[in-house]
C-alpha cells in the first residue's frame, strides 16, 4: 500500500492534521480487515529486495526472496 500525504508545512495546522489522519484511517480500514486478508504479503527490505511472506496453518511465517524484475 502506498499513501501519499501532502506536506504539513512549517506551522501546525489542526485541520490539515485531521485530514491526514482521516486519509490514513480510510486506507488502513480497507487493508486491515479479515475480508481483505491475502494469502501473502510483499515487503521491501532496506536494500530494496522484495520478500514474499506467507503463513501456514500453525501460524509459522515463511519468507521467500523474489527475483528482480519478475511479476509477483
Residues in the chain, overall count: 72
pTM: 0.52
How many domains does the chain divide into?
Answer: 2
Residues 32 and 45 in one domain: no
Q: 51 lies in which domain range?
A: 38-72
Q: Which residues contact 31 (CB under 8 A, 6 or more apart)?
A: 1
Q: Is the dihedral of CA 14, 16, 30, 53 positive or negative?
A: negative
- Whether residues 55 and 30 share a domain: the answer is no
Whole-angstrom Cα distance, residue 65 to residue 72?
A: 11
The DSSP string of 32-54 is SSGGG--S-EEEE-TTS-EEEEE
pLDDT tens across 8-55, in order?
667 777 888 888 888 888 877 766 677 777 889 889 999 989 999 999
Amino acid at each position: 500500500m502506498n499513501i501519499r500525504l501532502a506536506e504539513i508545512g512549517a506551522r501546525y495546522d489542526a485541520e490539515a492534521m485531521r485530514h491526514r489522519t482521516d486519509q490514513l484511517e480510510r486506507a488502513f480500514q480497507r487493508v486491515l480487515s479479515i475480508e481483505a486478508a491475502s494469502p501473502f504479503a510483499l515487503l521491501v527490505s532496506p536494500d530494496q529486495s522484495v520478500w514474499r511472506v506467507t503463513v501456514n496453518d500453525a501460524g509459522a511465517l515463511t519468507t521467500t526472496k523474489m527475483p528482480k524484475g519478475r511479476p509477483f
